[in-house]
Structure 1
Amino acid sequence: MHDSSSRGEPSQARAGTAVTTARVVNGRGTVTLLRVVAAVACLETLVQGLLAGMLLNGDVDSIDPHGFNAYVFELLAFLQVAAAVLLWRSNRWLTWPLKAAVGILAATFAQTALGLVSSLAAHVTLGVALCAMETVFVVRALALRADSPATPA
């Protein structure tokens, strides 16, 4: 079994012992950027759900804000990928944020396409899944620990 040290290099763990993964990464600024963008994107999914619920309740005037908000979420998902790339560049061993952000972006494009063709059942289901994915992404991003800045000697 292998676990990860604070720099991502594998270290040996004995069989039967608990494996812990320290999530200490380089780049306090990039970790903060990823957290902020992910949190705003997560809130955006909740706004989308609210607007969708209003639409399903018969408020036809909420269709335009829902459509506009979809493009705002796509932009946030793209920014989330950019932040994940920046984090990955200084932490090549840390791949989950980039993989997850690209997956969320792809799902977001699929979500928009399903909405444009009025595939309501698939659109609502994927919307709920996107909200869950974004929530998990935020929780995992908050679990990352950035290196503290070096103190001058």
Structure 2
Amino acid sequence: MTARGVNGGGALTLLRLVAALACLETLVQGLLAGMLLNGDVASIDPHGVNAYVFELLVFLQVVAAVLVWRGNRRLTWPLKAAIGILAATFTQTALGLASSLAAHVTLGVALCAMQTVLGVRAFTLRSDHPVTTPA
């Protein structure tokens, strides 16, 4: 993989920020799911609310990926990955609402892995226009 520079440092920073937050949200979801599976039924409401927070972050991740893509038409993987994660997230919510526990847990683990890969790869991109701080 080459360290090709990416135009649009602000869009790249936004993608990195949202991807990192979404990655953390998957960990929170896993914690809440584990609490629920351990019998803590009070964790179902926070798990549901956090699911919608994750959906919002993943939607913002798609927006950030579009902004990165607009400045770098050949760089398509962030947008493809973000859209794939968004589709999987909506499927995950539907499975949870349908109480399809085995599929819901399995897809949840996969979402955590997918989001982690996107986040790590976003941080491997380098900006053509690094942000400079005043002296």
Provide the TM-score with structure 2 as the length reference: 0.94
Tell me how far 1:49 sits from its aligned partner.
Answer: 0.2
Identity %: 82
SS of alignment partner, residue 3 of structure 2: coil
2:43 equivalent among 38, 56, 62: 62
- 1:62-93 CA distance string (max 9 Å, x none): 00000000010000010000000001001000
Counterpart mapping for 1:19-98 below 5 A: 20-98=1-79
- 1:73-123 CA distance string (max 9 Å, x none): 000010000000001001000000000000000000000000000000000
SS of alignment partner, residue 33 of structure 1: helix
8 Å Cα contact 1:23/1:143 also seen in 2: no
Provide the TM-score with structure 1 as the length reference: 0.83
Structure ranking higher in helix proportion: 2
Instruction: Please tell me whether residue 123 in structure 1 is matched to residue 99 in structure 2.
Output: no
Higher relative contact order (CA 8 A, sep 6+): 2
Tell me how far 1:21 sits from its aligned partner.
Answer: 1.8
Moved over 2 A (4+): none
- 1:18-54 CA distance string (max 9 Å, x none): xx42231101111100000000000000000000000
Q: Output the amino acid matched with 1:140.
A: R
Question: Which stretches in structure 1 are left out of the alignment for 5+ residues?
Answer: 1-19
Indicate the residue corresponding to 2:119 in structure 1: 138
Question: Which stretches in structure 2 are left out of the alignment for 5+ residues?
Answer: 131-135
Indicate the residue corresponding to 2:133 in structure 1: none
Select the structure of larger CA radius of gyration.
1
Tell me how far 1:148 sits from its aligned partner.
Answer: 2.5
Q: CA RMSD in A?
A: 1.2
1:103 equivalent among 81, 84, 91: 84
